[in-house]
Amino acid sequence: MATYAIGDIQGCFEALQRLLVKIDFDRQRDRLWLVGDLVNRGPQSLEVLRYVKNLGSAAVTVLGNHDLHLIMLAEGCSRLRDDDTLGPVLAAPDRDELLEWLRRQSLMHVENDFAMVHAGLLPQWSVVRARALAGEVEAALRAGNYRKFLAHMWGSEPAAWRDDLTGWARLRVIVNAMTRMRFCTPEGVMEFRAKGELASAPPGYLPWFKAPQRQSAGHALITGHWSALGLTLAENLLTLDSGCLWGGRLSAVRLEDRAVFQVDCGDV
C-alpha cells in the first residue's frame, strides 16, 4: 500500500491518467491525496470530477479556490470568467450529484505527521487549531442553508485573522488562507494580488511558509496553488503545483519515502 500526493489537476484528465499509470496506481491497494483545484482552465474538468468521485475512499481531496468557484457558479453566487472551462460540468446530467459530492469535501486533511491544504496556513495557526477552523467552514458548506454562506464567502477582507472574528468574516478569512494565500506579513496579514516567484513578494510580505515562528512547522504541510514555486520537497513542506495547466508537469510524491513521479503535460 502506498499514498501518493498529487498536485493541482485543474481539468487535465489525460495527464492524470498517464501519471496513475506511471505510479502503477491500484485503487484496491493505494490511496491518492489531491491538493485541490481538481477543475477549471484545463479541458476535462467533468472527467476529473467523475473519476475522483468514483474512487471513493481511495482518494482524499481538499477544496481549492477553483473548486469553490465552481460550486458558487452553480448556485449563482459567482460569474463565469473568460478563461473558465466549467461549462461541461454545469451542463452535465449528473451535475447536481457531482457538485453535492464536491461541496462535502474537506478544506484540510490531517493524518499522522502530514497536513494537506490547498494554499497555506496563517502563521499563528497550529495544525490542530487550523483543522478545527477548517471544520467550521466544512459545516457551513454542508448545512441546509449553505447557499447563504456561499453568497458571503468571497472577498479579500478582512485580510487577517483575529480570534474574536465571528460570522461570515470569520469563515471568509479561513477560506482565504486555506485556498488563496501565497504571501502574508510576519503577523499574518494576507496579500492576494502577487502570484509570482518568492522574490516577487510585495514590500513587508513574505511567503506564508517562511513566516517566523509559524505554528504549523511541526507537521509536513502538503500544498498546491502556487505554480510559480514548482515542486518543492522540504522536511516540513511539500508544494506540488508544478504547472501542468501551463505546459509544465503533473507531480506525485509517494509519502512513505518521498519518491517523486512526474509526467509532462504540454499544451492543454
Structure confidence at residue 267 as a pLDDT band (50, 70, 90): low
Q: Out of 15-19, 64-68, 193-197, 227-231, pick the least confident.
A: 193-197
- pLDDT at residue 13 above 80? yes
Pairing of strands 232-234, 237-239: antiparallel
pLDDT at 100: 98
Helices 65-74 and 167-179, packing angle to 10 deg: 130
Phi, psi of 198 (to 5 degrees): -60, -35
Pairing of strands 220-223, 237-239: parallel
The predicted model scores a pTM of 0.97
| Per-residue pLDDT tens over the stretch 99-129 | 999 999 999 999 999 999 999 999 999 999 9
- pLDDT at residue 268 above 80? no
| Per-residue pLDDT tens over the stretch 120-154 | 999 999 999 999 999 999 999 999 999 999 999 99
Which domains are assigned to the chain? 3-264 (3.60.21.10)
Q: Determine contact, residues 191/202, Cβ cutoff 8 Å.
A: yes
Separation CA 59–CA 48 (nearest Å):
12
Separation CA 177–CA 183 (nearest Å):
10
Average pLDDT, the chain: 96
